[in-house]
Amino acid sequence: MKAVILMLGMMAVTMTDAHAFGSARSSAVDAAPTPVPTTPVVVTPPNTDVGTGGLRVVINSAKNFNDTQAAHLEASRDLLERIVNSEEFKQRVLHFSYQGQETFVQNNGLSNLQVYNKILEAAEQLPSPTEANRVIDLSVQLYTSSYFGRNVVGYTSPDTPTIYMNTYFYNGATPGESASNMMHEWMHKLGFDHDYNSTARRPYSVPYAIGDIVDQMGN
């Protein structure tokens, strides 16, 4: 019986480690046959601070990317993953202020800590609610706008998981700028919104503010 508990403990450690690192993660967690306990095993949650780390950024699909654009996408994904797992990101979110108060605007009634925890849980709500899996799931597609739409960095809509990114901006962007763009649009997938027009409060909305934090840390 002791051996079974030890093995389960080791598996938990392996899985934690797999989540804690960037793109070089193992998919071999399933390799060992799972022991079947004959009596219920009580698993005590690890008594560790799970406030940072363990969040993955995964590109589930990328359409219209050439090799250069795909390399930039991977650099942006990797950077975003390192930023959102950092203590600095956590502190910036927890202490984000609007008019002297530690709060976001258009925050869906959530405190800064609750917003941060929403990010960590990564349970996308749009286009349909998903489980909290600690994976920032991204589907991205490049498009080339008309000349008049060239100042639109990117956009998405509630009825699709896809984040559309404009080549006018994308092709000249730094990884930090693209990471910021993807994070802004992904915050919409969590269910946060902002004023459509350029209001005074819009920069303090959750999507804009979180996107700006990523931009500042990534550039």
Distance CA 173, CA 179 (A): 10
Strand stretches in 71-211, DSSP E = 135-143, 154-155, 162-166
Distance CA 112, CA 192 (A): 13
Which of the ranges 58-66, 110-118, 128-136, 206-214 carries the binding residues for Zn ion, by CB under 5 A? 206-214
The least CB distance from residue 184 to Zn ion, in Å, is 6
Does 207 participate in binding Zn ion (rule CB under 5 A)? yes
Distance CA 181, CA 200 (A): 20
The least CB distance from residue 168 to Zn ion, in Å, is 17
Of 25 and 150, CB closest to Zn ion: 150
Q: Which residues contact 127 (CB under 8 A, 6 or more apart)?
A: 158, 159, 160, 161
Of 207 and 218, CB closest to Zn ion: 207
Which of the ranges 33-41, 110-118, 133-141, 204-212 carries the binding residues for Zn ion, by CB under 5 A? 204-212
Does 176 participate in binding Zn ion (rule CB under 5 A)? no
Does 211 participate in binding Zn ion (rule CB under 5 A)? no
Angle ∠(100,103,107) on CA atoms, nearest 5: 145
Q: Using CB atoms, what's the residue nearest to Zn ion?
A: 207
Which of the ranges 82-90, 129-137, 144-152, 199-207 carries the binding residues for Zn ion, by CB under 5 A? 199-207
Structure tokens at 159: 């009825």
Question: Which residues contact Zn ion by CB under 5 A?
Answer: 207
